[in-house]
Amino acid sequence: LAKTTQPISMDSYEGQEVNITCSHNNIATNDYITWYQQFPSQGPRFIIQGYKTKVTNEVASLFIPADRKSSTLSLPRVSLSDTAVYYCLVDQNAGNMLTFGGGTRLMVKP
Amino acid sequence: EAQVTQNPRYLITVTGKKLTVTCSQNMNHEYMSWYRQDPGLGLRQIYYSMNVEVTDKGDVPEGYKVSRKEKRNFPLILESPSPNQTSLYFCASSSLGEARSYEQYFGPGTRLTVT
């Protein structure tokens, strides 16, 4: 079971770029890395997913080094509405449970 | 609109009174799952289903049952609820794509209180 480790919390200011790093030392060869965002009392929402190098979409970028033992979610120019908990997941074999972990609580200040 | 629906959204019940929380998705997803979320413990998976009639235990299955008789529905059953099952419950679904990774779509949550 590939466990992930993230910072418990982070603070930022509006307009800044935020980078949240996740450690997953035991990631398996076929595992993907997925990030979710969760607002209070809402279900998590998929942000981005990647396997290696860099992935970018309209919301974020995901950087994965060659050894894949960590990954970094990058949120460009955050706003107050980006205040949420961000979870890093490493997928297991097909059908196995997906472990969310504690996530990183991001607070964006004006 | 593609969505996962859960009912009820809020429920207060008493210990021992059987209850069912329904979950339905309209995306023809094979994979469905139930999670509970408690303060300080994050999201923990209760049960998941790879397809119709295929279910398996997650991290915290004790005290729960599920069934998957139809592809779109995945009800969570608490035969004899206890106060330690007071929690926020989420249902999720996903397509089993070619890659071994799933983008999960989550329902709005069901807040259950057992007194």
pLDDT of residue A96: 56
Residues of B with CB under 8 A from a CB of A: 4, 31, 33, 35, 42-45, 48, 50, 56, 58-59, 88, 90, 92, 96, 99-109, 111
pLDDT by residue for chain B (115 residues), tens only, comes to 889 999 999 999 999 999 999 999 999 998 899 999 998 788 889 999 989 999 999 889 999 999 999 999 999 999 999 999 999 999 999 887 654 456 889 999 999 999 9
- pLDDT by residue (tens digit) across A30-83? 788 889 999 988 999 999 989 889 999 999 999 999 999 999 999 999 999 999
- Burial class (CB within 10 angstroms; exposed 0-12, middle 13-18, buried 19+) of A46: middle
Question: Is residue A2 over pLDDT 80?
Answer: no
- Residue A50 φ/ψ, nearest 5 degrees: -155, 165
C-alpha distances in Å from residue B112, one per residue of A49, A58, A73, B8: 31, 35, 33, 9
A34, B106: Cβ pair inside 8 Å? no
Beta carbons of B105 and B41 less than 8 angstroms apart = no
d(CA A70, CA B108): 30
Mutate to test the interface with A, among B3, B35, B57, B100 (most CBs of A within 10 A): B100
pLDDT of residue B103: 80
Provide the total of helices (H) and of strands (E) in chain A, helices listed first: 0, 9
CA distance to partner chain B, nearest, from residue A106 (Å)? 15
A102, B48: Cβ pair inside 8 Å? no
Going across the sheet that includes A70-75, the strands are A18-23, A70-75, A61-64, A53-56
pLDDT of residue A36: 93
Beta carbons of A24 and A35 less than 8 angstroms apart = no
Beta carbons of A64 and A51 less than 8 angstroms apart = yes
Beta carbons of B26 and B3 less than 8 angstroms apart = yes
User: Residue B26: which residues within 8 A CB-CB, separation 6 or more?
Assistant: B2, B3, B72
Q: How many C-beta atoms lie closer than 10 Å to residue A8's C-beta?
A: 8
Tokens of B108: 């709005």
pLDDT of residue B98: 55
* Residue A13, beta-bridge partner list: A109
CA distance to partner chain A, nearest, from residue B74 (Å)? 15
- Nearest CB to B100; choose among A44, A45, A94: A94
